[in-house]
Every structure is written in C-alpha cells, then in structure tokens.
Chains A and B, each alone.
Chain A
C-alpha cells in the first residue's frame, strides 16, 4: 500500500504530457515496439533492464505483465506505461490486438490523445489490410483520435519502399471511408530499433521523423475551457445551512457572479462562490474539480448539470455504439445510461446499421454483439444533455451498463439530436 516506482521517473517530469494508445493486429509486433520505446528512451531502471542488452532481447517480455498472457504469448489487457524524452513525457495505454479484446482498445482510446497503429508490412498482401487493422482504424476514427501508422518489420522486406507505399495506399482507402485525416506513416523495425527512438540503419529513401519525433509533435487533446459551461454535479455537499454542488468542469469556465442554468429545466441561477479544494477562487476552467455555491435556493441534485444559457436537453438521440459486453443486445433489453454524473434508464429503439469491418460497409442488423460498432437511435427516461461528441466530448459521450449483470455494455457517442 506504499509503493515505489516501477518506471524510471521522467527526466523532464515537469514537462508536457502526451497520452497515447497503441494498437495492432496479433503478431504485428506491438509489444516489441513498446519494449523498444522504453529501452531506447532509457525508461527502464537498472533492475528491469538486466539481461536486455543482447541482440535477441525479448522486447515483448518487458511489456507483457500478466502470467496468463505470458502463458498464452499474447497481450490480453490494457496496461499503462511511462517514459519520457528530453522534450515530452508520455503515458502509453497499451491496448491488445486480439480480436475478442477490442473493447480494451476502446477503453484505451477514450483516455488517449493520439493512437499508434502497428502494421506488419510483411503480412499486408496484395494491398489488403487485415480486418483487425480496419477495426482499429475505425475505433480511432469513431473516438476522434489522430493516428500514427508504424509500418513494422521493414527489415523483413529489405526496407522495400514499394512495400511501404503499398501499405500507405491500402490505408488511405480505409481512411477515406472512415473520414480519418492527418495520418502520419513511419517505416520502422522494432526488433532492430530503426526509426523508433534512433534513426538506425533503416531506409535511405525515408528522411521523415522517427516515431518518437512524431509523438513529440502530437497535440494533447484541445482544452475545452473555451466551450460552453458544463458542470455535472457528482455530489451535493452540505455544511451548516448551505449546500455546495461538487463536480468536475467538463467544458467552459465559471466565476463567482456568473449567470448559469441548472438542471434539466434549465432554471436560471447565479454563482455565489467557486471553491477548489475548499478554498475560494476567482475562476476555474475545464478539467478542474470545483464546489459551487449558488446565490439562490434551487432544486438541483446529484446527476444534474450547471450549464450556460444555451444548454439544450434531449430524450432521443442518434449515437454510435461500441458493444463491449459478451451478452448480446436484443430489443427487449433495457440499460442504465451514464452521461456526466447522471444515470438514467435507456432503450435502444432502433439499430440503424452495423458497420461491417471487412468491407467498412453499413449493414442492417437486429442484434448487437461483442465488438460490434453500430449507429442506433436511443431513448432516455430522463432528459440528457443534447451535446454532440464531436463538439463536446466530455458530455457528448455516454456508457451503458447492464442492470442485471452490472457489466459495462457499450460506449456511446452522440451524433445527432432527434428530440
């Protein structure tokens, strides 16, 4: 209960922090790539790097933490890892490639600024990407992540520029369908360490940035402090005769004196006091956990929202869903929906389509099973914030829980407001 550090503390620990995720199809060399990042950026402390300086080091052994995955030889869960370069410190959310664990990739994507997708160049045949690669690209697109494609095992194809370009072209087609923009490609050999941290003995035809240089240039997700105010109330604090509404600002900023709208009825109120850690402040913005006192006595409870004057609520929305539960959805099932601090009942009224991951075409469906990505129309018992994920990711996202098993059933992103 009182632990030390497993990872080497970042040298520039006070610097900018980028959170990125890694994804790749099984055997594309993702664990080796992470091992190489940690090894070459000297993120490993002396006792962990012991015996790792030979030619045939087991890079994957550095990252595969669980006994079960050591036994199976595959990565099975999301793991978080830390390293830093002289400019930037990083948290890696390492997501698995194995198909039935795509839900873990969704998890990793939801807390990442950028995604690194690893593709084995030797296994892209006739310019066709594997279904899992398309799935991973699709998840990144859904969740609004920028993408870096690491074309791995270039040493196995003699650093062929033509093979690299084939992957690029194949990926461009997929990206076009998905609406992904700003994709960077880098040819690498994780095993040899070429173009990961060091340039190495790679291709003479490639003069672009290394993987680490691309990551250093990646943007942390834009601050939401310029947006409209959204403050979901996690808990109402009572002290003496007064109440404060405690929660984290998901978007916008708040000051004492501000006129706000509270709850689903959007009742007008004014802010009397803004506290951070119990101390009054003149202003707080997105990302900060605050406690607010209102000047007026208003009916606002846990799950309600303090918002700006333009706020709108909805009972019916169109949303993209990633189905995460082993129990499939059938029309009779009701779920618990969580948006911000609110939990309410929800009903999937219609599956508009399920995306076929091989063709990226949209197909009709009347069931949702593990790993499906679908567009649905969804109704909620209580009004929910009518915020679009593309504009307000903090409140445009929601999750569904199965009320019988308590499993997390789906990740959702609001795309359109119906009513």
Chain B
C-alpha cells in the first residue's frame, strides 16, 4: 500500500520505474521476468506447444513475455483459446486484435461445439461453462496433438494451485496426479513425456497479483477495457455485484443499478462479478490490489465459492 501511494504516479509511466528510487521494485520484476523467460525458452524442447490465450490479464502478460523470450526470432507457439461462448465481447475483440498483432496463429475451440457433439452436457443453458472447458481443452489438445500447453496460472491464486509444479505432467486423459508429481529441482526441469501425454507449463508460478499489475504498468501492456473503471448495470446479491446481461438477468425482487465498477478477472459471464472501483489504469489497480482485504477468487468467482476443494477437483479432471 505504501509503495503504491508513494509511487502511484510514477508507476503510470513505464520509464519511471527504471529510476533509482524504484530499484527494489524494478529488481523484483526483472527477476520474475528472467525466470518466466527462462521457463518459456525451455519450451523450445517441444514440437507442438500452445500458449493458452483468453484475453485475460494473466494470459496477456504471458504472451508479452513469450514474445520477449524469443526476440528477435518468432515465438514457436500457437495461441489457443477455449471459448465458453459466455465471454464478454470486449475481451474477444481484444483477443483477436492482439493475436493478429503478434502474427501468431490463434486457434479457438468452443464449448458450444462440445455440447453439440455431446461430450459436454450442461444442467441448464445458462449454467457456468467453466468446468466444461476441461473437456473442450482435452479435445483441442488431441485434435492438434499439442505436447505442451502453457498457462498463466499463479501459485498465489488458490490452495490447489499452490502445490502445482512449473512443469506439470499430464497423462493421456489430461489428468493431474498430485501424488505422482515429479520433483522439480533448481530449475533443471524434466520435460520428457510419453506417447499421448502432455505437459502443462506455468511460467508465472511465482508471480503474485500485485506483480502482474506492476508489470502491466511498467511494460504498458494493453488490456480489455473492462479491467478498468466503467459504468455497468448490476444487482447486489449475496454480498457480490452481479452484472446484468442477457445470460444473467435480474431476479424478480432485485433492483438493477448503475455503478462504477471494474472486473478483477474476466472469465465466464455467468460466474464473474465486478467490484466497485474508480481505477483508470494499471497503477490505480495496483494501489487497490495492495489494500485489498478479500481474496480475489473469493470475491469474484462463484464457482470457487461452491466448495473449498472445487479447484482441486477440476484440476484432477484436466482443468488448468
């Protein structure tokens, strides 16, 4: 909090962070960047690696780092998005524009298609499709024979993620086996996989949410605009703000209101809630993040609130 208040203005400009007064912050981000670049370069080992790119902030940072890691050559990855069909249009537009800018091939596979095929069956048409993503992801992995999938997950997000390796081996069913995790020593990663298996790789493992926002500010990484303050029609429910959309209409007894909000995460519309905020840029968000009192998944992800072990169970089934 102290840092953000003192240096909030300076954080807005990328160059200001290079100044001597901010040496500890710059050194910290440099160290995280060097580590992530090292991990991304390890992926040159694979024949067909894909970087999971949803247009969310973590995947935006991941893509930025991937371009840096292989510059001046081209990053040897394709981009993959598993689209629930419940994404904010703003995020999808950003995803497509960013992919085009980088010149990397973007592959989109839709949960909708898995539903048509019958491999996914939902309890209701408006139910959250987050869990169903695992099925579509596996189908995409098999279709393209991806041997490595790169994700932006961080260990600070959730208890089950806190136990994840950087190189996380998955069997032919895409399942994570927490008891059979390979020991991971000194950054001497074990990249080997057997026939039909694949590796999930998490270069941002050691980053925290504050690190992500500070890095976005320093590197001037563009994001979908709904990460910053905007007016949105919401209803108050169970202590959260629920966005009012076609998929998520207000209930009969609820009054919709217009508030200044921003999204802290941008997942499936049916299970992602905004928070009240006046943050106009990444430096403002960083300041708010450093004074947050509720963990982010607890605040905004209904699917995690359902059960303490929800994430772990989804990971066992092949979720990122």
A residues whose Cβ falls under 8 Å from a Cβ of B: 1-17, 45-48, 65-68, 70, 76-82, 91, 103-104, 106-107, 110-111, 234-235, 237-239, 244, 246-248, 275, 277-278, 287-289, 291, 302, 324, 336, 338-340, 393-394, 397-399, 401, 406-408, 411
Binding-face segment, B97-105, B117-125, B140-148, B189-197: B189-197
Quick check: A398 and B188 within 8 Å, CB to CB? yes
In the assembled complex, B155 has its CB within 8 A of some CB on chain A: yes
Quick check: B71 and A3 within 8 Å, CB to CB? no
Residue of A with least CB distance to B36: A289
- Say yes or no: A4-B210 contact (C-beta < 8 A), given A248-B38, A401-B190: no
- Say yes or no: A2-B298 contact (C-beta < 8 A), given A8-B292, A13-B208, A406-B190: no
CA distance in complex: A340, B189 (Å): 10
Quick check: B152 and A106 within 8 Å, CB to CB? no
Quick check: A2 and B265 within 8 Å, CB to CB? yes
Nearest-Cβ distance from residue A160 to partner chain B, whole angstroms = 36
Name 20 extra pairs, CB < 8 A, besides A110-B185, A406-B190. Answer: A1-B152, A2-B267, A3-B58, A3-B154, A5-B210, A5-B295, A6-B161, A9-B290, A10-B210, A15-B24, A45-B292, A46-B295, A68-B178, A68-B179, A234-B44, A237-B72, A244-B73, A248-B38, A289-B33, A336-B192
- Say yes or no: A3-B296 contact (C-beta < 8 A), given A9-B289, A77-B178, A110-B185: yes
CA distance in complex: A244, B73 (Å): 9
In the assembled complex, B3 has its CB within 8 A of some CB on chain A: yes
Quick check: A45 and B56 within 8 Å, CB to CB? no
Quick check: B193 and A406 within 8 Å, CB to CB? yes
Instruction: Specify the main secondary structure of chain A where it touches its partner.
Output: mixed
Among candidates A13, A104, A234, A278, residue contacting B183 with C-beta atoms closer than 8 Å: A104
Q: List, in ascending order, chain A residues with CB within 8 A of B52's CB.
A: 1
Among candidates A103, A234, A277, residue contacting B42 with C-beta atoms closer than 8 Å: A234
- Say yes or no: A13-B71 contact (C-beta < 8 A), given A1-B58, A2-B58, A79-B162: no
What are some 18 contacts across the A-B interface (CB < 8 A)?
A: A3-B265, A5-B210, A9-B290, A13-B3, A47-B294, A66-B160, A77-B181, A104-B183, A234-B44, A239-B73, A244-B72, A277-B33, A397-B185, A397-B188, A399-B185, A401-B190, A401-B192, A411-B185
Q: List, in ascending order, chain B residues with CB within 8 A of A14's CB.
A: 3, 22, 24-25, 28
Which positions 137-186 of chain B face chain A at CB distance < 8 Å? Answer: 151-163, 169, 178-179, 181-186
Interface string of B3-29 (1 = CB under 8 A from A): 100000000000000000010110010
Q: Which 3 A-B pairs have the closest CB atoms?
A: A4-B296, A278-B71, A2-B56
Quick check: B208 and A399 within 8 Å, CB to CB? no
In the assembled complex, B108 has its CB within 8 A of some CB on chain A: no
Quick check: B31 and A77 within 8 Å, CB to CB? no
Nearest-Cβ distance from residue B169 to partner chain A, whole angstroms = 8
Nearest-Cβ distance from residue A292 to partner chain B, whole angstroms = 13
Quick check: A237 and B163 within 8 Å, CB to CB? no
Nearest-Cβ distance from residue B314 to partner chain A, whole angstroms = 12
Quick check: B30 and A288 within 8 Å, CB to CB? yes
Indicate the member of B163, B210, B299, B301 with the most A CB atoms within 10 Å: B163
CA distance in complex: A201, B195 (Å): 59
CA distance in complex: A33, B163 (Å): 18
Residue of B with least CB distance to A82: B156
Among candidates B31, B38, B42, B208, residue contacting A82 with C-beta atoms closer than 8 Å: B208
Residue of A with least CB distance to B42: A234
Among candidates A12, A68, A104, residue contacting B2 with C-beta atoms closer than 8 Å: A12
